A and B are shown apart, each in its own frame.
Chain A
């Protein structure tokens, strides 16, 4: 590789972990990898979100649907990422779509569970009050239930996004792993600076995405803050859903995160 042309007393030549010369000489490679990483993550989470909301609402409305939906999400979430991507190989081939589909399936399971938990946590009295005020089922869902489920749903979205950023690296097995590609090739060439830089960038993206979503959550749910400004026609005096404590329900690997509010 380019290491051959580097001056002998260069941090690249010495294969150091931290290397400024790596950052400046591979700027394009790093930028492309970051962009691919963001693309994989953002698209997969958005696809999952679009599918998860109706699925969770359906599971809430149709009692019989909740069991199968939760069971399926547990099964999906239990499948290790490498196996998940492999199982999608006959469908999508070696493509970015394969990685996006795999990541979307994981995000979907997290989102469906959290949105459903949020919807279930809406107090019955609140629902009855809305009905008493003449709210139809659609308005009840859009103006009361979904806004009240938002904090729990957003917690799920944050976990899903952070997990997607981390799991996208496994996409390197099919050549579409964003920063994972750099980690993979860095491993094969024993390139320390590349592996460390790509790993750190992964964590930075995950933390930045988490903080961004936390900010969005604060904007969307002003009523959960103490002394929040009077909101629009929204359920602003709603009982702020306390940290979803559904410890009775045995659920999959994401349980603790749902129980304890993630701290950035």
Chain B
């Protein structure tokens, strides 16, 4: 496979790793964008999901949001934001688009996890005189944690993917290596960029899967 050989050569050439268009910088951009947006989306979605799940309200909202998130193309939202007045605010269009697509899995899984807590356990906790807040934080949240973490993992992988698409709309990150490769008709560069993106996505997926396993193997984690 000469194409793979050329892609490997592209990847291992030091010149492609340094500078503003280099792999190192693009990777840093990608990680920074993903990390910031993951923190933002968790801060927005998780409290809402936990409170809604605790109250048992808004289930339809959580489900419909997930469906809408699937039906609306990320690329369309990115471009729509770019052409809107927000488009002038630097990297905000990208950040907003990324957060929009990371929220549904967080909300849906968080809500489902909270609703999935055994009702007998909840009644027992209430019978012991726990307040709503204690119930949420000490009983429901720990039991819902595996699913909450699943939501975080899905959101993180989704963010890595959306951040890649953002390159199509002029954003930074590893996707830029792919789009630049397409623009210069350099198949090796396209393949090299694709490997980097796929590798990062798989790494993120694997890392969060490990965190999940660790969290459920330790006390206070999951139901086991």
Contacts and interface: CB of A to CB of B under 8 A. Distances in A.
Given A75-B202, A80-B201, 11 more contacts: A74-B205, A82-B164, A82-B194, A83-B198, A83-B201, A86-B193, A86-B197, A89-B191, A90-B191, A199-B73, A206-B72
Interface of A: 74-75, 78-84, 86-87, 89-90, 159, 162-163, 165-167, 169-170, 172-174, 180, 183-184, 186-187, 190, 192, 195-196, 198-199, 202-203, 206-207, 210, 247, 250, 252-253, 255-257, 259-264
A79 B161 CA distance: 8
- Main secondary structure on chain B at its contact with chain A? helix
Given A80-B198, A82-B164, A257 B191 contact: no
Contacts, number: 170
B44 to A, nearest CB: 17
Size class of the contact patch on chain B:
35 or more
Chain A contact surface mostly: helix
A186 B66 contact: no
Contact of A195 (B83, B112, B147, B198): B83
A263 B194 contact: no
Contacts of A174: 182
A250 B212 CA distance: 10
Interface in B26-79: 60, 62-64, 66-67, 70-77, 79
Nearest to B189: A86
A259 B112 contact: yes
A77 to B, nearest CB: 9
Contacts of A264: 67
A80 B175 CA distance: 10
A79 B201 contact: yes
Contact of B190 (A75, A89, A184, A196): A89
B172 to A, nearest CB: 14
A82 to B, nearest CB: 5
